[in-house]
Amino acid sequence: MPVIGSPSMEYVSCNGLRVAFRHAGSGPALVFVHGLLGYSFSWRNVIPMLARDREVFAPDMPGAGFSECRVDLDCRLASAADRLLSFLDAARIDSCDLVGSSYGGATAVMLAARQPVRVGNLVLVSPANPWSKVGRKRLALLRNSGVRHLFPRIARTARPMHRYFVRRMWGDPAAVTEETLSGYSQPLLRPGIFEHAVRIVQSWNADMAEFEASLPKISHIRTLLVWGSRDRVVAPPSAEILQRSLPGSRIAIIEDAGHLPYEERPEEFSRIVHKFLLKHFPSGATRKVT
């Protein structure tokens, strides 16, 4: 049994793939799913808080972090959801509450649509969605064959590029510490990580269409949408469009935070999630947290 609040790094085999995950606490299962080019490191500040009364699991999804990254991984969103389901099976998690960020939020939606009995509550942190227009030019650029082949090689060695993209995730880029920059950069040096991310982009439009089509299947699942007001990666106005597709879902806006509010404001984020999971979240459609 892991020490409550103190995450250990563990490994499990999921359909032949070695998957790393952080594990802490005891109680009902709570699973965190990171975004594109992120990994379980993203959740390091909130795990101890939420593991006080939950058994927390934060996997490095295959192709990311320190989990196995194979060139033959199917990079469609539905396949990412299947791999997440395989992790639940391998970790012996029959049902859980899911917290997914960015691409991980979209992955959580797809899993819930495929296996709704496995999901109790959903917390979607600025999930990738078809209504956000931010970054569409960059996605189109990465679908160019020349850029697709050159980008991973350049990005792996260009440390200043790592720093730029991490800082862009923050509402206040000056608040990013050296420890944070180093933490996010470490797995990016591994062969295949950038290549996997670029392959994900190739099916982005089809994946977002499938994401939208999946929303009616999860409309019965209690859902919280969390956004940072200064998100420059997934546009905050898309939260309201997503909410209309999920009747009964609620929105919490964390003022002055960026794309990763759990990084910038871990205490506020943990408090919001904790109250929501305890079903004490305010009944209003939108709540701003300052």
- pLDDT tens for each residue of 69-97: 999 999 999 999 999 999 999 999 999 99
Provide the terminal-to-terminal Cα distance of the chain, rounded to the nearest Å.
36
Angle at 201 between CA 199 and CA 204, to 5 degrees: 125
204 pLDDT band, cuts 50/70/90, is very high
Q: Identify which has the larger pLDDT, 110 or 191.
A: 110
How much is the pLDDT for 290?
43
How much is the pLDDT for 198?
87
Indicate whether 283 pLDDT > 80.
no
Indicate whether 131 pLDDT > 50.
yes
How much is the pLDDT for 7?
77
Q: Are β-strands 55-59 and 17-24 bridged in parallel, bridged antiparallel, or unpaired? A: antiparallel
Short-list 37, 47, 38, CA closest to 3: 47
Indicate whether 224 pLDDT > 50.
yes
In this structure, is the dihedral angle defined by the CA atoms of residues 195, 257, 180 and 12, taken in order, positive or negative?
Answer: negative
42-64 average pLDDT score: 97
Indicate whether 148 pLDDT > 70.
no
Distance CA 223, CA 244 (A): 12
Indicate whether 248 pLDDT > 70.
yes
Short-list 74, 76, 69, CA closest to 192: 69
Indicate whether 249 pLDDT > 90.
yes
44-58 average pLDDT score: 96
Q: Identify which has the larger pLDDT, 138 or 281.
A: 138
56 pLDDT band, cuts 50/70/90, is very high
User: Each residue of 261-271: pLDDT tens digit?
Assistant: 999 999 999 99
How many Cα atoms are found within 13 Å in the side-chain-facing hemisphere of 288? 6
How much is the pLDDT for 99?
98
Short-list 212, 192, 232, 162, CA closest to 75: 192
Q: Enter the pTM of the model.
A: 0.91
